[in-house]
Homo-oligomer: A and B are copies of this chain.
């Protein structure tokens, strides 16, 4: 009946490595995420890393995809699809914002990863989940006559750009109040409205 081994808990090692990479990149940049640093932060030997990932790059790409997926799930859970499109837009914007804010290291990691050469190898697959939320929102709002009929990628950029910028400010130490976040969501809505 094999009781759980009290050692450094086998299956969790992979998660520890992913989390370690995210923390290091968020704190000190992609260049600081060496195999030695990641292994040390995860509390395992450097060679162990290669039992779980084919290469350092693979580890970082896996961390990126997992992070994006988690944010998508959190954001989707925070939205009530029965509201009017304008209200739904504001709520969705805040849900995505709060999902990222819940794990600032993950957000900072994502920003830095996305500007690295590795992002090209990732292919942009991770971003499509969030993109779909925006597409659905736009369609509903155009059908109801609330939103301007602008290209989906333009509206998507106008929607997501402030998320990223306000979060970057928070990482630098500027804490936004709830009222300020509401104001930002309203500003995004104003940009979409007819």
Contacts and interface: CB of A to CB of B under 8 A. Distances in A.
Contacts of A28: 117
Nearest to A168: B157
A29 B116 CA distance: 5
B31 A31 contact: yes
Interface in A8-62: 28-32
Interface string A81-116: 000000000000000000000000000000110111
A190 interface: yes
Query: What is the total number of copies of this protein in its complex?
Result: 2
- The prevalent SS among residues of A at the interface is helix
Interface size class of A (residues with CB under 8 A): 35 or more
Interface stretch (A63-71, A128-136, A138-146, A158-166): A158-166
A193 to B, nearest CB: 7
A180 interface: yes
B169 A162 contact: no
B151 A162 contact: no
21 contacts: A28-B117, A29-B117, A30-B31, A30-B115, A111-B115, A112-B115, A112-B116, A115-B116, A148-B183, A150-B183, A153-B169, A154-B166, A154-B176, A157-B169, A157-B184, A158-B162, A158-B165, A161-B162, A161-B164, A164-B165, A186-B191
